[in-house]
Structure 1
Amino acid sequence: MIEPYTQKIFFVDNELLADLKQDSIVEYKNFMTPQIDSRMIVIPDLSAQQINELITYVPATEIRVGNVLAKTGYTNQFGPLDEFAGDHATRKFRIWVQLCIALGAKKVAVKNIEKIHIQNQDQSDINVDGSLKAPVVSADASFKRKTSEEENAINEKILSLAAEATGGEPDLAAAEEILTFYDLHKDDMFRSMYEMRRIKSNTLLRHDFTLDLTQDMKRMFDASTKAKLKVMSKICKGGIDASVVNKSLEKSQTALKLSIVVEF
């Protein structure tokens, strides 16, 4: 039912699909057009065996009509789509910290967090103290946004993952285990750090880099997914899950960009 490449799950029932088909046959056909990375699940049609399989990936409380779930990177578990951005950012940085410590880092810290507005590519700069400054590209008031409590919580969680250690020689075997376990061998960011620390003739002492999650957000919220979310918002008719879907659409417009320093 859930394939390794499945990234999104849409829960519907026959009543919602019938209503959508009656309202607009074009919207219905577009909504039902399959995506490789998405799974449309009609809840009443699930067998007991399928439900048992499903709950190995999805919390039972999240299996309800109108809900949309996303797979957080580097795990096989699914959670609410509107929480994807924060969950993915914290998990990716946490794994990065683990890899750096395995490679002998003395310190891994976030210098700055930026919120990138994907559509316009403007930036709202967030200092490490969590405050929000005016966008660096435009001073227009329309670009200014207050950081919500939820966004502040995500920033604080990311900052709390900073680590210090005694430092030392890289444990390449441990680092290799991390790369293999999380399937990171093809990820340039993780692989390049591993390769640099393998070099013994010129020891790496410090590395400043940027962890930009823009492409991660674009892959999760591609045009087809956004179109399906808009339909979900419509057919949920203002219910709780419609609110979640609308929040997901709003969050799909931004991505986090972390400025990170690693010292060895």
Structure 2
Amino acid sequence: MANQQNKFQPPQVSQDPPQNSEETEEGEAESKKKEQEELPPFEIVEGSRIPASSFMFQFKNVEYSSGRNKTLLCYTVERGEGQVFRGYLEDEHVSAHAEEAFFTTVLPQFLTSGKVVVTCYVSSSPCVSCAASIAQCLKRNKTLQLRLVVARLFQWEESEIRGALRALRAGGCQLRMMSGADYSLVWKNFVEPDFNLDEEGKVEEKQDQGNFIPWEDLEENAKYYEEKLAEILR
């Protein structure tokens, strides 16, 4: 599991005694407000395994993704001589998106003069800006072969998004929707079980987490998105 670094700093405690309770409350409120205004945005989280509950929520291929306000990206990088690297990133849609972070800061360290095959499993398709970053990466690296496999289409009704997806395909990106087999593969390689503590405080794995158990309408939703993507890329 990724260990997210906590960037938040504890509030400074004043050493001066308060003059009265009203001034104390006002001072604390002002201090709290100032602290909140100065808090930096969330950082990109990077690791090797996603908590099962997070994966099941964020990767669910529903049409309306209410509450799913972050992007999760699982990647496999294959280089010569059988070298394979895996990991994942997530964001909070506050600063850089996971796709942009991967293609501008993570992937470059794996790129060599030889062929590199990259497969990204993403909870939703990229926005216009991220699609542009991916297209630029493909343009700069002619030996890069990219497969982008997404659970949901992000704002696919918007003309700019549709154009960005077509530009990705034209730039050499293999773009498709996740199927049940893809979910099982990601579950096996990128997801870790959630754990509970028993009455004695010992860690116990939640039941039924050995294999991926699809939700009822997974394949139906995947087919729906496949049709939409085919329409966009036509």
Tell me the TM-score normalized by structure 1: 0.22
> Higher relative contact order at CA 8 Å, sep ≥6: structure 1 or structure 2?
1
Where is the helix percentage greater, Structure 1 or Structure 2? 1
TM-score by length of 2: 0.24
